[in-house]
Amino acid sequence: MVKYLELHQVEALKRTKQPRQRLDSLGYTLRGGSPTDLMLLIEGRWRRIYVIQFSNAGSAFVKLNREQYFLGRIDHDIRDLAMGAMVNENPVYPEAKPCEA
């Protein structure tokens, strides 16, 4: 069963240096996902956002307690939050706020 992260679980977001991509010898994403430069503060811990790619469609997720929680419905909210963090704006998300890297 697919599990989804809810926006109220996200406390903050930060952008880090781009980690090394996890790809196989043919350039495809490994099953564990490829790390992005974005991290979310969830339950007091920073969790990296990973992307797993199938054909031309990618899905973003975080790992919590050895399980994958897909961003799904909040993907656009996280993207908006990341854009606000990049330009140092204060987007209106009472549940989550941009954080300095």
Domain ranges of the chain: 3-98
Per-residue pLDDT, 8: 84
* pLDDT at residue 85 in the model: 54
Whether 31 contacts 61, CB under 8 Å: no
Q: Which among 1, 3, 12, 22 is positioned nearest to 78, based on CA atoms?
A: 12
Q: How far is CA 55 from the centre of its chain?
A: 20
- Tell me what pLDDT residue 93 has: 41
Q: Note the pLDDT tens digit of each residue in 57-93.
A: 788 899 998 888 998 878 777 777 776 654 444 444 4
For residue 6, give both structure tokens: 């809810």
Q: pLDDT category, 48, cuts 50, 70, 90?
A: very high
Question: Which pTM was predicted?
Answer: 0.72
Angle at 67 between CA 66 and CA 70, to 5 degrees: 140
Tens digits of residue pLDDT in 9-35:
888 888 888 787 777 777 777 777 888
Query: Which residue in 68, 27, 30 sits closest to 49, CA to CA?
Result: 68
pLDDT at 100: 54
